[in-house]
Structure 1
Amino acid sequence: MLAIFLETLPFFMLIGLGYGSGRTGFFTPEATAYLSRFVFYFALSAMLIRFSANLSIDELINWPFMGAYLFGSLVIWGLVMAVALIRKASIAEAATESHVSITGNTGFLGIPMLSMLLGAAAIGPIMMILVVDLIFFMTLFVVLVLASRDGRLRLSAFKIVARGLATNPMIMSIITGVLISASGMHIPDPINDFLEILGSAATPGALFAIGASLAVKSAERVYVAGWLTFAKLVLHPAAVAVTAYVVFRIDPYAAMVMVASAALPVAGNVYIIAQHYGAAPARVSASILISTVLSIFTLSAVIALVQF
């Protein structure tokens, strides 16, 4: 485990560097927002297009794999929803907490870190997880929040979700890469080199941006955030491990990537959406902060267990 911890440490050191820069004011919230925008729309998109374009369709679309991740995640989603409702939380708050418990920082942290730690073959499984999170769970989250706010389910909720998916650069980048792969086209060397150079900025940029954004996060409602962090870092990978290894009997390597991805800390974009809809943003902020700090240790432990 120590060896894996030391391998993951440089990634978290980059996050720490970003945190220190944000905390001291050297990197302002506005600068962090622009860096995140560069990574999200340009660097990460270039990385995803290049990776997905060089993978076969079988590596990008594996229904048993996605089913295992979906059902394992749904177990934790339902558990956290039930606990929130027992605490008398509103539907919107319960949906937010459920989304926190199963949505890891796959884009900004998972893709750069796990592809380097577990090998390039991890890219396909990670992308499938990203697709399930963005299409299924994001849709479920937004629809429940809007239905709770409006008092009933409206068709406009699905239109909002569809518009969001259509403008999400990660989804569009993966689709672009899949189409290139399916067509059998070869990306010209100058374009491939361009994508490689631009995509190489995704890892340091994303990790630095994560840290800088954590500098303005608060740790309010710590007891709820602690429960959500436990659900995300411990229960989620455990449930996914059961569905991957026992129920669906996924290929061991792909299952390892799936469990490691499930052990990632809470994604930062959950806070943006929760803040936009006014659905418990403070506890989301605290969950992101606490889960990211603790994942320095828990993520190494999970990777060590699945590699054993």
Structure 2
Amino acid sequence: MQGVFEGFATIGAIIALGVLLAQLGVLDLAGQQVLSRLSFFVASPALMVTVLGRADVTSVLSKNLVATAAGVLVCGVLYLLAARLVWHHPPAETTIGTLSATYVNAGNLGLPIAAYVLGDAALVAPTLLMQLLVLQPVALAVLDNAVSARRFSWVRAFSRPLTNPLTLGSLLGLALAVTGVSLPMAVQDPLELVGGMAVPSMLIAYGISLRLGPRPGHGTSAVEIGFITVLKLVVQPAAAYGVARLVLGLDGTALLAVTVLAALPTAQNIFVHATRYGRGVVLARDSIFVTTVLSVPAIALVAALLG
């Protein structure tokens, strides 16, 4: 369990740094915007190129991916129904809420947990690739069209993800992994340096928001945050476990990996997306905060029961 607590301690320390910088007046809400935009347009695409370029793409077709996708689908459908029938959210806010309920922190938390708890960092690859190449591009297409003043166009809906820096970085990284091509060191090294800014930028911006924005639990519905939390930490791992165990026949480390990774908290980059498009910012922030805190006992419980 050391890897679980090390991963959360790292995240907590960087978020605390953001809170401290805001408290001292070193960075303000304008600085938060700069950090978010830097991460969205520059650092995160570079990170996707370097991370996906080294990934084992054959793992995308594994049973782990099917079980992971099942958990995402169940939670996504449940939230979409609630957003439409209960909270009556417009499309952009519904998209941010759906991501908050389904998109796990597979990068800066899933990787250390896979390496230290599950014993193989490659186990996070199916989740990471599915989110980057399927869930994220679809969500960004909806957000792009939702905030546009022009009439909806299917051509624009399918073409806009290809102009999104995160999607382009993901596709380039996948192309490198499929072809086995390695970038020249003169390109690879700068990309890795720039990509290294992505996660710290996200977390520091999130910490600034915690200090200067509305306090967690203020500015959005506590009931909706609670619903998202239950979907994220209970329903998603339960659905992934059920499909993996009962339908696909997984057991041992493979079953543990699917369930633990499905119980990860909401990813910090959902806050970046919400900030970038100006929709559902407080909803994303509070979902990240609550699920991150409560996922510690949730993941520990899963590991204890299945490990």
- Regarding TM over 0.5, the answer is yes
The yes-or-no answer on 1:193 pairing with 2:194 is no
Aligned partners of 2:71 and 2:235 also within 8 Å? no
Determine the structure 2 residue equivalent to 1:204: 200
1:203-282 matches, within 5 Å, as 203-215=199-211, 216-218=213-215, 219=217, 220=219, 221-249=221-249, 253=253, 256-268=256-268, 270=270, 282=282
The yes-or-no answer on 1:132 pairing with 2:134 is yes
The yes-or-no answer on 1:73 pairing with 2:45 is no
- TM superposition score normalised by structure 1: 0.75
Choose from 153, 156, 159 the match for 2:156.
159
| Secondary structure in 2 matching 1:211 | helix
- Separation (CA, whole Å) in 1 of partners of 2:41 and 2:146: 26
| Secondary structure in 1 matching 2:153 | helix
CA apart distance, 1:72 = 2.0
Aligned CA-pair RMSD:
3.8
Alignment CA distance shift 1:239-1:5 (3 Å): same
- Separation (CA, whole Å) in 1 of partners of 2:14 and 2:139: 29
Count of aligned residue pairs for this structure pair: 298
Deviation per residue, 1:280-301 (Å, 9 max, x gap): 6554443333333433544454
Alignment CA distance shift 1:63-1:289 (3 Å): same
Alignment CA distance shift 1:275-1:174 (3 Å): closer
**Letter of the aligned partner of 1:127 in structure 2?**
L
Determine the structure 1 residue equivalent to 2:39: 39
CA apart distance, 1:98 = 3.7
Aligned partners of 2:124 and 2:261 also within 8 Å? no
| Secondary structure in 2 matching 1:87 | helix
Alignment CA distance shift 1:129-1:179 (3 Å): closer
Deviation per residue, 1:30-52 (Å, 9 max, x gap): 21222233333333333322232
Deviation per residue, 1:43-100 (Å, 9 max, x gap): 33333222322334313x3264433222222212222334445536357466654443
- Separation (CA, whole Å) in 1 of partners of 2:80 and 2:99: 9
CA apart distance, 1:233 = 2.2
- Separation (CA, whole Å) in 2 of partners of 1:158 and 1:99: 24
The yes-or-no answer on 1:179 pairing with 2:181 is no
1:32-111 matches, within 5 Å, as 32-59=32-59, 61-62=60-61, 64-87=63-86, 89=88, 92=91, 97-106=97-106, 109-110=108-109
Alignment CA distance shift 1:254-1:132 (3 Å): farther
- TM superposition score normalised by structure 2: 0.75
- Separation (CA, whole Å) in 2 of partners of 1:102 and 1:44: 20
Range moving further from structure 2, 275-284 or 97-106 = 275-284
Alignment CA distance shift 1:184-1:265 (3 Å): closer
Aligned partners of 2:75 and 2:236 also within 8 Å? yes
Aligned partners of 2:56 and 2:122 also within 8 Å? no
**Letter of the aligned partner of 2:237 in structure 1?**
P
Runs of at least 5 residues in structure 2 that lack an aligned partner in the other structure: none
- Separation (CA, whole Å) in 2 of partners of 1:46 and 1:266: 22
**Letter of the aligned partner of 1:128 in structure 2?**
L
Aligned partners of 1:35 and 1:205 also within 8 Å? yes
| Secondary structure in 1 matching 2:289 | helix
* Amino-acid identity (%): 26
CA apart distance, 1:158 = 6.0
CA apart distance, 1:121 = 1.7
Determine the structure 2 residue equivalent to 1:170: 166
- Separation (CA, whole Å) in 2 of partners of 1:228 and 1:253: 27
- Separation (CA, whole Å) in 2 of partners of 1:46 and 1:251: 36
Alignment CA distance shift 1:297-1:169 (3 Å): farther
1:296-307 matches, within 5 Å, as 296-302=296-302, 305=305
**Letter of the aligned partner of 2:48 in structure 1?**
L
Aligned partners of 2:36 and 2:272 also within 8 Å? no
- Separation (CA, whole Å) in 1 of partners of 2:207 and 2:259: 24
Runs of at least 5 residues in structure 1 that lack an aligned partner in the other structure: none
Range moving further from structure 2, 277-286 or 182-191 = 277-286
Alignment CA distance shift 1:25-1:74 (3 Å): same
